[in-house]
Amino acid sequence: MERRLLQMFALGALGVLVAAPLGTTAATSGFAWDSVTKLVRDADPASLQPGSFDADYTAAAAAQTQPQQSGGSLAAKIKQAMAMGQNVRQMMETGLAERHYVAGSKERTDQVAEQTATIVDCSARTITSLDLRAKTYRVESLDAASSSSSGESGGGPQPRATDDNSRFAITITNAALGAKQVAGQPTNGFRSDVTFTQTRASGESVSGSANLIGYYTSRLNPALDCARGAGGGSHGPQRQMMAGYMRLMRALSSNGSDPRFTVKYTGPILPAGNLSMYDAVTFTGGNSRAAGATFVTERGNLRPIDDNDPVFSVPSDFTKQQ
């Protein structure tokens, strides 16, 4: 479960961070990049800065995990749970390595350690899940994905969250950190102190605070959001923590386009609609489940790609699963 949670966080975080419009990007053009996602406990927000992306990605990509089998005896299930816990600890320490491709109406995300991939085609309204180890794939209707259960492979389509019609009031105090080369890209850095209040349709309110460090390029996110849910309700402390992060970043990326998010800035405006090469979000209070947790996403190897690239197609030697 927690192994799946970290994967869901990485995919979901990508969805909310890249929900900005395409801007002037040509319809068939886009970008590919690699990323490392970490969940860190008790980090000092003042010490969080980009490190060596190449070294971090190499370490995360090398942390290969074995596919988890379901079923079996009680002893087998206990063994599976222990192995899953080891995988979670390993990923929290070294990070979750991914490859991303977005162009035209297509998006692909590869889970490197799991050796799985997901291709979303908004025009065809499909989600294609690839098992790169077994060389198999399955295709699901994008419109049916919200009611389907998660697949066993790490890159399988995730059910969309139910929208609970919450409204969010967010206050952000920003400070510029200046220009910096991050993973070979020119960026501008910002430090943000954030307070937020979520008010549910029932009138119940929940408040919290966070610290955000971000280094943003001048490129708009070449992104799709046709498969992304609204980031609604979730269950369990880890899922609630993940959902809180996703909602916060989605609010920052909305740039006033969603009336449910009210954002007030002090200081320079955060360019949250641009592709960032480094994000570190530390929850500092309010939600006791999230306090002390830091979500770190590093990106690198940014390069152009178009939607007729073979990466968006199923290899000819793969077998379709029914």
Question: Residue 24's pLDDT is what?
Answer: 34
How many CB atoms are located within 10 Å of the residue 235 CB? 8
Question: Residue 44's pLDDT is what?
Answer: 83
CA distances, 114 to each of 87, 133, 228, 284 (Å): 11, 9, 22, 32
Question: Residue 15's pLDDT is what?
Answer: 37
Element (H, E) at 54: helix 53-62
pTM of the model: 0.74
Query: At 167, phi and psi to the nearest 5?
Result: -115, 150
Question: Residue 126's pLDDT is what?
Answer: 94
Q: Strand 126-131 and strand 116-121: pairing?
A: antiparallel
Spatial contact of 71 and 152, defined as CB atoms under 8 Å apart: no
CA distances, 44 to each of 176, 195, 277, 281, 282 (Å): 19, 18, 20, 11, 9
Averaged over successive runs of 10 residues, the pLDDT of the chain (322 residues) comes to 40 37 46 91 84 92 62 58 56 84 94 93 94 96 62 42 70 94 96 88 85 93 61 46 64 68 87 90 68 86 94 96 84
Spatial contact of 201 and 222, defined as CB atoms under 8 Å apart: no
Q: Which of 295, 260, 77, 244 is nearest to 165 (CA)?
A: 260
Question: Residue 137's pLDDT is what?
Answer: 98
Q: What is the DSSP string of 129-176?
A: EEETTTTEEEEEEGGGGGGSPPPSSTTSPPPPPPP---EEEEEEEEEE
How many CB atoms are located within 10 Å of the residue 73 CB? 8
C-alpha 214/C-alpha 102 separation (Å) is 21
Collapsed DSSP state (helix, strand, coil) of residue 22:
coil
Question: Residue 26's pLDDT is what?
Answer: 37
Model pLDDT for residues 91-112, shown as the tens digit of each residue: 667 888 999 999 999 999 999 9
Question: Residue 220's pLDDT is what?
Answer: 87
Question: Residue 139's pLDDT is what?
Answer: 96
Q: Which residue has the tokens 């910096």?
A: 180
Model pLDDT for residues 148-205, shown as the tens digit of each residue: 444 444 444 444 444 567 788 889 999 999 999 999 999 999 999 989 888 888 888 8
Spatial contact of 110 and 99, defined as CB atoms under 8 Å apart: yes
